[in-house]
Amino acid sequence: MPSAEDGGGAESEQPALVDATEVGRLFREEFGRSVATLIRVFGDIDIAEDAVQDAFTVALDRWPRDGLPPNPGGWITTTARNRAIDRLRRAKRERELLGDAMTAVTGSPELVPPEDAGPVDDDRLRLMFTCCHPALAPDAQIALTLRLLGGLSTDEVARAFLVPEATMAKRLTRAKHKIKAARIPYRIPEEHELPLRLPPVLAAVYLIYNAGLDGRGESGLCGEAIRLARLLVALMPDEAEIIGLLALLLLIEARRATRTAPDGLPVVLAEQDRSRWDRATIAEGLTLVGACLRRDRPGPYQVQAAIQAVHSAAATFEATDWSQIVALYDQLLAIAPTPVVALNRAIAVGEVEGPAAAIGLVETLEPELDGYYAFHAARADLLWRLNRSGEAAAAFERAAELAPTRAEREFLQRGGRGRYAL
C-alpha cells in the first residue's frame, strides 16, 4: 500500500487537479471529522488542530501539482496523524536533549493506535458534546463548535460574531484550557444524561444559524448550522428534537432569500414573495415535521418547526391557518414559557381575532420585553392597525432605537409598516 502522503498517486487513472480554493473547501468539509478522530487518538485538542493545519499546508503544496488523492478525507487524517507523531517525537527529543526527565504529556507516540479505533462519525459526536458541555459558557460553546467541527478559522469565527480576532482567540484558548485542565470528557453522554446534555448542543446549532440570519452577510453560518444539524440527525436518528431542529432550520432557510430586499432592508412575512420560496427545501422540512408528529414526543424545536410548516404551506399571508398557529404557540408556551413565545402567540392572536384582541396581550409583556425591539415593533404595528398612529410612530421609534442591526433600524425608522410576524 502506498503511504498516504504519496497522495495515492500510484493510482493508474489521472487524479483530478484542484486549485487552492478547492483545497480550502475540501479541508473545511473534512476538518471536523479529522480533528475529532485525532483528538481521540492524541487526547489533546491543540495537537489535533495543529496536525490538521500541517496537513492542509502539505495538501496546498501537493494537490494542485499531483492531483486529488482518491480519499481526501482519509488522506487528511492519516497525514495529520503522521505529522502529529513527528511533532511529538521532535518535542520528546528536545526534552531529552534538555535533560528533562519528565515523560511526554500526551504519552509516547508509539502508543498511538495504528488505525482508527472506532467509527469516525462517533468522534464528531463526542466532539460536539465536548464543545457544548454545559460547564462552558454558551459563547465559548458556539465558538468551539464552529472552529473545531465547522473548520472555520479563528478569524472567520471572530468576523461572524463581530468581535476582534484577538478576543475570539482568547475565548477559544480559554475554553480549550478549561477542557484540558478540568478534564471535560470526550465521550457521548448516556441516555439518562441527554436531557441535560442535548439542549446546549441544539442551542449552539440554532444560534449559529441565527447568527447567519442576522444580516451577517455571506458568512456561510446558515449552511454550516444546517450541515451540523444534518450530522446530528445522522448520528442520533432517534432524537425527535434533533429532527425538529433540522426541520425548523430548513423551513426558515427555504425563505431566507425573500427575507431581505435588494436594498438590504428586511421584508416581513406578509410581504415576502412566496413564489421565490425554495419548494424542495420546504418539502424536506415538511417531511421531517411529519416524522416528528408520528413520534409524538413533542419538544420546543419540533413545535417551532410545526409553526414554520403552517407558514410554508400557506399560499398567502391571509390564507395562513392562524388558528392552528395560535394552537401551536399554546403548546410551545406550555413547554417553553418565555415572554418571546408569548409575544409571538399574541401576534398570531392578532391575525385570528384582530388587533384589538392582541394589543392587550402584547402590552402585558412590557415589563419583561421593554428592551426587545420586536416587542415595540409588534406593538407599533397593532397600534397602527387600530388607527392610533401617534402612539404607533412612537413605538416604531423605540423599536428602531433597540434594533440589533442597521438594516432593521432603517426599516423601522421608515415607519416599517408590516405585520411583524416571524
Task: Write the interaction track for another protein spanning residues 133-152; mark x where CB under 8 A is met and - where it is not.
Answer: x-x-----------------
Within residues 176-205, the interface with another protein by CB under 8 A covers 181-185, 193
Query: From CA 129, how far away is CA 358, in angstroms rounded?
Result: 41
Distance of closest approach, residue 126 Cβ to another protein, in angstroms: 13
Distance of closest approach, residue 180 Cβ to another protein, in angstroms: 9
A 10 A CB-CB count for 311 gives 21
Residue nearer to another protein on the CB measure, 184 or 269: 184
Residue nearer to another protein on the CB measure, 185 or 404: 185
Amino acid at 49: E
Cα–Cα nearest to 205, from 241, 153, 245: 245
Within residues 107-136, the interface with another protein by CB under 8 A covers 133, 135
Residue nearer to another protein on the CB measure, 104 or 182: 182
Residue nearer to another protein on the CB measure, 136 or 421: 136
Residue nearer to another protein on the CB measure, 185 or 360: 185
User: What is the phi/psi pair of residue 260, to 5°?
Assistant: -130, 135
Residue nearer to another protein on the CB measure, 80 or 144: 144
Distance of closest approach, residue 184 Cβ to another protein, in angstroms: 5
Query: From CA 36, how far away is CA 45, in angstroms rounded?
Result: 9
Alpha helical stretches, state H, 162-299: 165-181, 194-213, 221-235, 240-253, 279-295
Residue 1 sits in the site that holds another protein (CB under 8 A): no
Q: Are the CB atoms for 149 and 32 separated by under 8 Å?
A: yes
Go through 337-376 and write b for each residue having 16 or more CB atoms within 10 A of its CB, e for each that does not: eeeebbbbbbbbbbbeeebeebbebbeebeeebeebbbbb
Terminal Cα distance for the chain, rounded: 56
Residue nearer to another protein on the CB measure, 85 or 179: 179
Long-range CB contacts (< 8 A, 24+ apart) of 363-370? 365/339, 368/339, 369/339, 369/340, 369/343
Applying CB under 8 A, the site for another protein has a residue count of 8
Distance of closest approach, residue 133 Cβ to another protein, in angstroms: 8
Within residues 238-277, the interface with another protein by CB under 8 A covers none
Residue nearer to another protein on the CB measure, 186 or 277: 186
Query: From CA 158, how far away is CA 164, in angstroms rounded?
Result: 6
User: What is the phi/psi pair of residue 335, to 5°?
Assistant: -90, -40
Query: From CA 359, how far away is CA 382, in angstroms rounded?
Result: 6
Distance of closest approach, residue 36 Cβ to another protein, in angstroms: 18
Greatest extent of the chain over all pairs of C-alpha atoms, in Å: 84
Residue nearer to another protein on the CB measure, 192 or 294: 192
Distance of closest approach, residue 302 Cβ to another protein, in angstroms: 28
Distance of closest approach, residue 100 Cβ to another protein, in angstroms: 14
Distance of closest approach, residue 235 Cβ to another protein, in angstroms: 20
Within residues 309-338, the interface with another protein by CB under 8 A covers none
Cα–Cα nearest to 358, from 341, 374, 346: 346
Distance of closest approach, residue 242 Cβ to another protein, in angstroms: 21
Summarize as ranges the residues that interact with another protein (CB under 8 A): 133, 135, 181-185, 193
